[in-house]
Amino acid sequence: MSREGRLYFLDNLRVACMIVVIAHHAGQPYGPTGGAWPIFEATRAAVLGPFFWVNRSFMMSLFFMIAGYFMVMSCDRHGPKAFLRNRLLRLGVPLLVFAAIVVPLQVFVFGASDGTLGSAWPIDVGPLWFVQHLLIYAAAYAGWRMLRPGSAEAPRRTGSVPGEATILGFCVGLALLSGIVRIWYPIDRWVYILGFLRVAWSDVPRDLSLFIIGALAYRRGWITLFPAKRGMRWLGVGVALAALWYVYDLWLAPALQPDSLAIDILILLWESVFCLSICIGLTVLFRERLNVQTRLSSCLARSQYAAYIIHIFIVVGVHMLLAGLAAPPLAKFALATLLSVPATFGIAGLIYKPLRL
């Protein structure tokens, strides 16, 4: 921790998450993905299928958990009104600027087909849906704190962390709720509220619940109190479940061609347990092993938010650069990642301060 009490391991964890997000998007043209992307290659690497699935099952939820933790910390420190003003500036302004850039791209570049112009509505904010949701959650929390000002004086409570039975019970409940939502909104079905708010309802139960867990973790001290040995065991569970998914997706599923309610339920349970176990495990791992700051890690941490905002433009630019390269899709994925990560953080490091990101 720094002199100001900042948690270095959470900064480092966010940077690691950001690198995986860049890699995830860098692989979109080269693997089997259920989403849309401006550029696709004719030949795909099957191994990227489970890579995408494993990432989507925890990555943004881990971001939400960390955001919930820092949200309560910031609101406690500055008060709900100042906190909300800060969120509107820090989240709302970049979101509007991003939308203003995306609209002409939708109309004149990626939206054009057969000589006709693309549609400017709805506005596809792409990965900045995360910023939209954070802004809504922050506004809701600040509003609740304004309505209940006494909660601002509530002391942080430290005590026992949730046990294994509680965590597994939460996973079962999350799987049940996610399964119900996905009856109407399957994975990768995005909807637009008022033509601007981008929502994948299939993932909202998981993302919102992890955001709430992050808020509770700050208030109750879970992140610093969670026992190291238990955290490492949960990390082991997460790694094992990730490996199991690779085996299932690449070999078992094509051979067995499963299509039943029982398999769907097992996948929902796998996703919930994997998400919680890897979020717990990575947090404890970084707390125990990577709670340090160097000049490089400090720079990466400060520019991480700017990197999230701009990375999509850089990644797509790299994809265009590699479009004519004759190479296997997996090699192009590796090259796209190796080019996109340093370029994104390098540019973000130059712009985050003048743009106040």
pLDDT of residue 253: 80
Residues 144-202 pLDDT 10s: 988 877 655 455 566 689 999 999 999 999 999 999 999 999 998 999 999 889 999 99
Residues linked to residue 176 through DSSP beta bridges, in sequence order: none
Does the pLDDT at position 20 exceed 80?
yes
Across residues 284-295, what is the average pLDDT?
Answer: 95
Mean pLDDT for all residues in the chain: 90
Tell me phi and psi for residue 198, to 5 degrees: -95, 120
Amino acid at 176: L
Q: Which of 68-72, 89-93, 283-287, 322-326 has the lowest mean pLDDT?
A: 322-326
Residues 95-150 pLDDT 10s: 999 888 888 777 776 666 555 666 778 888 889 999 999 999 999 999 998 887 76
Residues 244-255 pLDDT 10s: 999 999 988 877
Across residues 225-235, what is the average pLDDT?
Answer: 96
- For residue 198, the surrounding DSSP H or E stretch is strand 197-199
Q: Which of 199-208, 247-256, 313-322 has the lowest mean pLDDT?
A: 247-256
pLDDT of residue 4: 44
pLDDT of residue 3: 42
pLDDT of residue 325: 87
Going by C-alpha positions, the residue among 131, 147, 4, 15 that lies closest to residue 73 is 4
pLDDT of residue 1: 44
Q: What angle do CA 271, 309, 346 make, to 5 degrees?
A: 110
pLDDT of residue 170: 97
pLDDT of residue 33: 79
How crowded is residue 211: how many other Cβ atoms within 10 Å of its Cβ?
Answer: 24
pLDDT of residue 48: 94
Between 63 and 101, where is the model more confident? 63
Calculate the alpha carbon distances from 270 to 180, 186, 200 in Å.
16, 17, 20
| Residue written as token pair 């929502």 | 199
* Angle of helix 204-220 versus helix 261-289 axis, rounded to 10: 30
How does 160-192 read in b/e, with b if 16+ C-beta sit within 10 Å? ebbeeeebbebbeebbebbbebbeebebeeeee
**pLDDT confidence tier of residue 87, bands split at 50, 70 and 90:** very high
Q: Which of 46-50, 66-70, 260-264 has the lowest mean pLDDT?
A: 260-264
Q: Which of 134-138, 209-213, 316-320, 323-327 has the lowest mean pLDDT?
A: 323-327
